Structure 1
Amino acid sequence: MERGSTLFLKVTVFLIGIPVLAICIFVIPEIANYIVELYPDHTYLKYFVCIDLYATVIPYYIALYHAFKLLGYIDKNQAFSDLAVTALKHIKTCALVISALFVLGMPLFYLFAERDDSPGVIVVGMVFIFASMVIAVFAAVLQKLLKNAIDIKSENDLTV
């Protein structure tokens, strides 16, 4: 792969992280404060919302880091190596953790949607769950294909 295309992908991976950082700084505290407005007797819900949403950001950035490393392996012509398989494994695990954290947070989304009378919030939560599951399945398929390709390559190297 040309260095320019991986450079573009690296910049894209970096730029994908910026909106999430902005959401963490500006939007999540507002959501938590709005939960307190909806449920003034249950101010502790604010902390559950913050913990759940901030906890999903950690594996997100870990997955972005491993995607960046994977692009580095492609630059160094190590795309068919165990390092690339490991990076895909970490991306898959992070996507599964993100999905699980959103599943755990769905009762909070339900409380928010019930009081605010907006069922679209639950749909948005489900979109995040299914999107991360799709990424996990895609990473698992790529991991398996890459592992098979490495095995075939090593068999061919031994044959010659």
Structure 2
Amino acid sequence: MKRGTTLFLKVTVFLIGITVLALCIFLLPWLANYTAEMYPEFADWQYPVLIGLYVTAIPFFIALYQALEILNYIENNNTFSELSVKALKSIKYCAISISILYVVGAVCLLSQNALHPGIAIIALTIIFTSVIIAVFTAVLEKLLKNALDIKSENDLTV
């Protein structure tokens, strides 16, 4: 694969990470304060929701780091290796954990009648996107594992 393609993907992953980090640092606290001022009945949920969002950012950044590692493996012609399988497995677990955290958060907010329909739509979108990413990486992980098995059998045959 050409170096320019992986460089473009690396820059894209980096920009996504910077954008989410900026949202976590600047926009989320401001939005939480604004919502607490506008809707005092939801003020009790300001900090638990912020903590939940920050906790879900951790596996997101881990998954981005693993994506960068996979791109490094592609650049170094080391795509078909156990390291790539481990990175895909890590991305899969991160996506699953994000889905679980959002489901738990939505259920908590729903049980307290604090789940706004707009927030519910965003939460469902994130949940389903994370599930799709988890399934896709699981399929890629299995394909890569099968390719590694075939490669090792061919190496033993020769």
When residues 112 and 34 of structure 1 are mapped into structure 2, their CA distance, relative to the original with a 3 A threshold, is: farther
* Corresponding residue SS for 1:80: coil
> For residue 13 of structure 1, what is the aligned residue in structure 2?
13
Alignment of 1:9-158 (within 5 A): 9-37=9-37, 38-40=39-41, 43-106=43-106, 107-108=108-109, 111-113=114-116, 119-158=117-156
Distance 1:31 1:49 in 2: 11
User: Which letter maps to 2:140?
Assistant: L
TM-score under structure 2 length normalisation: 0.90
Distance 1:69 1:127 in 2: 26
Distance 1:30 1:134 in 2: 31
Distance 2:105 2:40 in 1: 16
Runs of 4 or more consecutive aligned structure 1 residues displaced over 3 Å after TM superposition? none
By how many angstroms is 1:121 displaced?
Answer: 2.2
Distance 2:155 2:104 in 1: 47
Distance 2:34 2:109 in 1: 12
* Corresponding residue SS for 2:114: helix
User: Which letter maps to 1:122?
Assistant: A
> What CA deviation, in whole Å up to 9, does each residue of 1:95-139 have, x standing for no partner?
1111111111113376141xxxxx232111100100011001101
Q: For structure 1, list consecutive stretches of 5 or more residues without a partner in the other structure.
A: 114-118
User: Which letter maps to 1:142?
Assistant: L
Distance 2:139 2:115 in 1: 36
User: Which letter maps to 1:159?
Assistant: T
Q: For structure 2, list consecutive stretches of 5 or more residues without a partner in the other structure.
A: none
Distance 1:94 1:121 in 2: 22
Kept in 2: contact 1:35–1:112 (CA 8 A): no
By how many angstroms is 1:32 displaced?
Answer: 2.1
TM-score under structure 1 length normalisation: 0.89
> What CA deviation, in whole Å up to 9, does each residue of 1:34-74 have, x standing for no partner?
4433235x644221011101111111010000000010011
